[in-house]
Amino acid sequence: MHTIEPEDNSLVKGLQLFFKHLLETQKIDALFLPVRLKNSTAIMPSLVTDPAQLTHAVPLSPSFPLNSARMVSRLSYKVSGRKTAVVLRPCEMRAFIELVKLKQGSRQELILIGMDCPKALTENDYQAYANANSLENASRENTSLDNPPFDEDAYIQMVFPQNSDTLNGFDFCPACRTCENPFPMNADISILLQGVDLSKGMMVESGSDTGKNLLEGLKLPEAVKPEAREGIVMQIKEANFKANQAMVKNIEARTDSILKLNAFFDRCINCYNCRNMCPVCYCKECVFNTDVFNHQPVQYHQWAEKKGSIKLPTDTLFYHLTRMAHMSHACVGCGQCSTACPSDIDIFGLFKSVAQRTQAAFEYSPGTDENQPPPLSVFCEREFEDTVGITRKS
């Protein structure tokens, strides 16, 4: 266990310096992590090879524009001859581990860096928050947009020691408020902030021999994991579990009949944004983009004549039910499906409530155990005997 000390009394600068030294070791060729774009409030995942560019790295921010697991799969599914350290939120890490199991990515040339989750706003809320703070800072300090749009150190201090559910009037995403695993796992290196005295810095620990060798090469100050961390971790898990149960209860009451389920999705426009933003929905060709759902004009008229009228586009409910059947076992709860929905449908709430039942039925926790095969990839002779009505004698 080691300490990442603040630089100029700034945790953000201390973390940027840690990444800079990591890249300068020449044991890695690139870093993949969130970076604040030049002259912009936008924070996007970026592949960085120049240590000087890390002065704009902001992995601990309320911006979560996409789950980066798919981007990491693009960097790793074939050998590149380059070693890359990737910095991921816990739900991104779980999604990437699922993609590795599905042969869509590989850890071979990667060093996985996990962290305690800094929570997130929806991207619209983040932009409103950042723009408001940027304008305020510019008017007060005569600064440009190339400077941080908000006080990043103050944000870290607010999220971790205080564990607030709101940010200047904005609520954090439901996915963050109901996540029961907002802590790093399966990482070569983990950055810890919960239960840590942040006035002295953040803590970092290795989870593999590769991570251990890298940290030892940086010669960081040694530290002892604080005793308070375990208790705080349990408190957060319990609070998020209760929030999750309340969310599921609310969703089930809103979708417990076919009429309610139709009403739940009545604003769906079949844009497929939820599918496109799902980090583990990886099919190269989706059945909903084929001629199967390219109905003939006369078919629409026949349906309308039978019922008196039909809503267009059709197949919206069938699309969501199909996606649940295909992917609910692999849902990692990142919430990007709801964030991407232009009609503001609570897709995440419903998908997660279904996913929890699916995963419980298969005794499967996606992205947590790298050696546990996805349930739909294995055959179990005695599986669901009560459901299928077949009982085999021993």
What are the DSSP calls for 30-81, one per residue?
Answer: EEEEEEEPTTSS-EEEEEE--GGGGGGB-SSSS---S-THHHHHHHHSS--S
Does the pLDDT of residue 116 top 80, yes or no?
yes
Backbone angles phi, psi at 72, to 5 degrees: -65, -35
Q: What is the pLDDT of residues 204-233, one digit of tens each?
A: 999 999 999 999 889 889 988 888 899 999
Q: Mean of the per-residue pLDDT values for the chain?
A: 89
Helices (H) and strands (E) in the chain, counts: 15, 9
Q: What is the pLDDT of residues 53-112, one digit of tens each?
A: 999 999 999 999 999 999 999 999 999 999 999 999 999 999 999 999 999 999 999 999
Question: Residues with Cβ < 8 Å from 259, sequence gap 6 or more?
Answer: none
Q: What is the pLDDT of residues 54-66, one digit of tens each?
A: 999 999 999 999 9
Give the pLDDT confidence score for residue 142 in this predicted structure: 47
Give the pLDDT confidence score for residue 394 in this predicted structure: 58
Give the pLDDT confidence score for residue 169 in this predicted structure: 85
Whether the Cβ atoms of residue 210 and residue 25 lie closer than 8 Å to each other: no
Minimum mean pLDDT range among 211-215, 235-239, 386-390 = 386-390
Does the pLDDT of residue 134 top 70, yes or no?
no
The domain spans of the chain are 2-230, 248-388
- Categorize the per-residue pLDDT at 136 as very low, low, confident or very high, splitting at 50, 70 and 90: low
* Assigned token pair, 61: 């921010």
Give the pLDDT confidence score for residue 58 in this predicted structure: 93
Give the pLDDT confidence score for residue 132 in this predicted structure: 81
Specify the 3-state DSSP secondary structure of 287.
helix
Q: What is the pLDDT of residues 342-382, one digit of tens each?
A: 999 999 999 999 999 999 999 999 999 989 999 878 777 76
